[in-house]
Amino acid sequence: MAVEDFVKQCPTWQKAKSERCHPAGTLQPLPIPSKPWNDITMDFIEGLPMSEGMNVILVVVDRLTKYAHFMPLRHPYTAPSVA
């Protein structure tokens, strides 16, 4: 019983314990888009210093051509203002 209590309270043992779930398996690639701007990714770059009243960059990238648009935004922003 003392060993179980020690292991439950020891931070080193808590970090080193093994996972109790099955491995996720191999990664599956995403399908290749059929035409430009058919499949896009979007991301926000936040925490930037203020520049001309803007402090966020919206990045939109076409997955097929890798062409990107960078749009400055003011924080806080809403879904309608981004759309």
How high is the pLDDT of residue 8? 75
Residues 6+ apart with CB under 8 A from 77: 56
Structure pTM?
A: 0.64
Domain boundaries, the chain: 29-83
How high is the pLDDT of residue 20? 75
How high is the pLDDT of residue 63? 94
How high is the pLDDT of residue 4? 77
User: Tens digit of pLDDT per residue, the chain (83 long)?
Assistant: 777 787 777 777 777 766 677 878 898 999 999 999 999 999 999 999 999 999 999 999 999 999 999 999 988 888 888 88
- CA torsion sign for 10, 13, 14, 20 is negative
What is d(CA 34, CA 20) in angstroms, rounded to the nearest whole number?
A: 40
